[in-house]
Amino acid sequence: MQLNVNSHARRLRELSTTSRKDWLLAEAEYLIRLANQRLLTERNTKNATALLLTADEILRDLDEVDLLAVRQALAKSITALRMAPGVDREGLYLQLEALSEQLIKLPLIAPELLDGAKVVVEQPVTSENNWRDKLRQGFYKAVDGLDELIRVRRRNAPLEPLLSPEEDQFLRHNLGMMLEQAQLALLREEPAIYQSSLMKAQQWLEDYFDLNEGASQLVEQLSQLEQQNVVQQLPDISGGLEALRDYIDSWHKRHTVKGVDQQDGEL
């Protein structure tokens, strides 16, 4: 019972001696610790910078010479945060979203002849009174009419078979999944998966989709997004927190020793 009474008495004495400076130092320490946590979890330098600036304003209002070392450490952390190269993850994510909506609507490549040439046949001079000449003339006209019905293109790639409606939807769904995978890798800062997903998407577009001039521009935008950096380089801002904790410990020790001396003097 005596030990419990002594423990409660010590807690009450500590609370009764808590000053405004204690509360301000505790608030500054909380803000700096929160800045470190948000930098690691949110990967965003703006919020961490704002928190450190608020903590520095509190320490400035205390107007203590011994706090200059702490403020110097905070100034270095704030400068490092401002100089860190930023990654616009929200902007890249939205660009991929917009491209995905357009790319999956592109038409697929229709099956075409690999090789071919126009059939050019010289029509001999015929007499309308000769039935053989009329028959030959009709045959030549039929051959010439086929040129208007058959479109011939040359392709270096092997000819792909015509896709069924189910395969069509499956192909478009897989293309959308690749772009979604790139978006997820962007948020997780996984550059290898991000670039690989976009490379596969571009390859599928070239192999299976009919790319006109407008669609080629979309693929070019996809290629530019592939070159973007998705990893946010974060500085170490723990120096200010360590310096402030050292100051608080030393200040409490001096304050405690002074209080004990006063109590001994009263006794």
Q: With beta carbons less than 8 A apart as the criterion, state whether 167 and 137 touch.
A: no
The answer to whether residue 221 is domain-embedded is yes
Q: Confidence class of residue 265 from pLDDT cuts 50, 70 and 90?
A: very low
pLDDT at residue 206, as a whole number: 83
Hey, what amino acid is at 256? Answer: T
Average pLDDT in the 29-38 region?
A: 94
The answer to whether residue 121 is domain-embedded is no
Q: Is-above-0.85 flag for pTM?
A: no
Whether residues 188 and 74 share a domain: the answer is: no
Please report, to the nearest 10 degrees, the dihedral formed by the alpha carbons of residues 25, 26, 31, 37 taken in order: 130
pLDDT at residue 203, as a whole number: 87
Whether residues 29 and 99 share a domain: the answer is: no
Q: With beta carbons less than 8 A apart as the criterion, state whether 210 and 109 touch.
A: yes
Q: Which of the 8 DSSP states describes residue 108?
A: B
Whether residues 172 and 216 share a domain: the answer is: yes
Separation between Cα atoms, residue 126 and residue 138, nearest integer Å: 11
* Mean pLDDT (the chain, rounded): 77
Whether residues 101 and 182 share a domain: the answer is: yes
Residue of 59 and 7 predicted with greater confidence: 59
CATH number at residue 51: 1.20.120
The answer to whether residue 136 is domain-embedded is no
The answer to whether residue 132 is domain-embedded is no
Hey, what amino acid is at 246? Answer: D
pLDDT at residue 102, as a whole number: 87
Whether residues 222 and 93 share a domain: the answer is: yes
Whether residues 100 and 211 share a domain: the answer is: yes
Whether residues 99 and 174 share a domain: the answer is: yes
Predicted confidence (pLDDT) at residue 120 exceeds the cutoff of 60? no
Whether residues 68 and 196 share a domain: the answer is: no
pLDDT at residue 58, as a whole number: 94
The answer to whether residue 154 is domain-embedded is no
Whether residues 81 and 105 share a domain: the answer is: no
pLDDT per position as a tens digit, 171-196: 888 888 999 999 999 988 899 999 99
The answer to whether residue 71 is domain-embedded is yes
Number of domains in the chain: 2
The answer to whether residue 18 is domain-embedded is yes
Separation between Cα atoms, residue 128 and residue 137, nearest integer Å: 10
- Candidates 11, 12, 8, 49; CA nearest to 31 is 49
Separation between Cα atoms, residue 68 and residue 149, nearest integer Å: 86
pLDDT per position as a tens digit, 147-172: 555 555 555 555 455 455 566 788 88
Q: Which residue range(s) make up the domain with 180?
A: 89-109+161-226
Q: With beta carbons less than 8 A apart as the criterion, state whether 28 and 37 touch.
A: no
pLDDT at residue 81, as a whole number: 93
Least confident of 85-89, 167-171, 203-207: 167-171
The answer to whether residue 138 is domain-embedded is no
Q: With beta carbons less than 8 A apart as the criterion, state whether 81 and 47 touch.
A: no
**Which segments within 91-228 are labelled E, that is strand?**
none
Whether residues 104 and 214 share a domain: the answer is: yes
Separation between Cα atoms, residue 26 and residue 223, nearest integer Å: 50
- Residue 61, helix vs strand vs coil: helix
Whether residues 177 and 217 share a domain: the answer is: yes
Whether residues 191 and 97 share a domain: the answer is: yes
Q: With beta carbons less than 8 A apart as the criterion, state whether 150 and 116 touch.
A: yes
Quick count: other Cβ atoms within 10 Å of Cβ 126?
Answer: 14
Least confident of 27-36, 116-125, 250-259: 116-125
First to last CA, the chain: 24
Average pLDDT in the 50-67 region?
A: 92
What is the maximal distance between C-alpha atoms in the chain?
146
Question: Tokens at residue 179, please?
Answer: 């772009």
Separation between Cα atoms, residue 207 and residue 209, nearest integer Å: 6
pLDDT at residue 207, as a whole number: 81
- Candidates 74, 39, 37; CA nearest to 234 is 39
pLDDT per position as a tens digit, 215-248: 788 888 888 998 998 888 889 999 999 999 999 8
